[in-house]
Amino acid sequence: MHVFGVKLVGFTLENGLKLLLTIIIFFVIWIIAKILRLFIRRYMRGRVDASALFWSNQAIKLLLTFFVLIFFISIWFDDPRRLTTGIGLIAVGLTFALQKIITSIAGYFIILRGRLFNVGDRISMAGVRGDVISLNFTHTRVMEMGQPPAVQMADPAMWVEARQYTGRVVTITNDKVFETPLYNYTREFPYLWEEIQMPVKYSSNRIKAEEIMVKAAQQHTAEIQEAGKLVFSDLQRRYMVRYDRLEPKVFYRLTDNWLELTLRFIARTSGIRELKDQLSRDILEGFEKAGIEIASTTFDIVGLPKINIALTRDREKESIKKAD
């Protein structure tokens, strides 16, 4: 084909028709994807099953991608020799230029095949903690959450001192599953063991203090314990996991200044801050009624050295009178 007397290399009528057909097919598949997603949203309207919606979208994405590849290869590589040459050139180019993208796509299939996480799971990956809100071929988006005070020095530091949303949406490439550990808070066992430390004086009624703390935890976590037992039993059947008690318990730790009472209890992966707030209020109220004081860092003065005070003013007056 010639334009202004210049021959365009590789641009023929046949290639032009193939290009037009490719654009039409891409457009048709794009329309089909939109229609299918719209149909799924309407069909699942009012449902709260985020996992079903996620897998439906993934199935549509994989199926249509497969058809795109089939149509693309059928149109442009109708000659087997051309197909072999094209695949070789593409493989060489991808090996050097798209290593990260290929690794991310491989990570995507590892996430799906290995069931590492789903949309809605709470995870920690590549230093980011939060809930998965979307998963694509190359990246995962996470609604970031804060960190408890004990890990506030972790990178990146947070201004929200609890496992609650910060408002930031973080994008993580899928290749990170090969490079960093992946922590899933909800996939296998959607519960966490939490702790509350209460320092009390050695002279306080520690038995009563322990009773108040256990009673408060039992009152707020009884339902969670019953649900957690079933999940934990299933976890033991599938993995070699030793049993750990789900009932609240208080542990002692001796320090130089006070007796530290640590309340260990089970909680759901979400709503932990509200639960600890309710427990803290009930424990403080119980301590006040029982006359148990919260200990704090103090210094006891056990003795003072002798102080000699010399009264020199009267002596100065006497010396002045003598001089007069």
Give the strand order in the sheet containing 139-145: 165-173, 139-145, 128-135, 122-125, 182-184
The CATH code belonging to domain 191-290 is 3.30.70.100
Confidence at 197, pLDDT banded by 50, 70, 90: very high
Which residue did the predictor score with more confidence, 173 or 312?
Answer: 173
Using DSSP, state whether 149 is helix, strand or coil. Answer: helix
pLDDT in tens, 81-90: 655 665 666 6
Q: Taking residues 191-218, what's their average pLDDT? A: 95
Rounded Cα gap, residues 174 and 134, in angstroms: 12
**What is residue 302's predicted lDDT score, i.e. its pLDDT?**
62
What pTM was estimated for this model as a whole? 0.65
**What is residue 202's predicted lDDT score, i.e. its pLDDT?**
92
Span of 44-48, 176-180, 232-236 with lowest mean pLDDT? 44-48
Rounded Cα gap, residues 120 and 140, in angstroms: 12
Mean pLDDT of the chain: 81
Q: What is the sign of the dihedral through the CA atoms of 175, 177, 178 and 181?
A: positive
Give the helix ranges, DSSP H, for the chain: 13-43, 50-76, 80-97, 99-113, 206-238, 272-290, 313-323
User: Quick count: other Cβ atoms within 10 Å of Cβ 246?
Assistant: 19
Using DSSP, state whether 37 is helix, strand or coil. Answer: helix
Rounded Cα gap, residues 89 and 195, in angstroms: 58
Question: Do residues 247 and 222 touch, judged by C-beta distance below 8 A?
Answer: no
> What count of Cα atoms within 13 Å lies in the side-chain half-sphere of residue 222?
6
Among 144, 161, 165, residue whose Cα is nearest residue 152: 161
User: Quick count: other Cβ atoms within 10 Å of Cβ 249?
Assistant: 14
Question: Do residues 117 and 111 touch, judged by C-beta distance below 8 A?
Answer: yes
Confidence at 47, pLDDT banded by 50, 70, 90: low
Domain limits of the chain?
Answer: 2-97, 122-184, 191-290
Which residue did the predictor score with more confidence, 80 or 9?
Answer: 80
Among 25, 2, 23, residue whose Cα is nearest residue 12: 2
Confidence at 49, pLDDT banded by 50, 70, 90: low
Using DSSP, state whether 194 is helix, strand or coil. Answer: strand
- In the predicted structure, residue 160 carries a pLDDT above the cut 70: yes
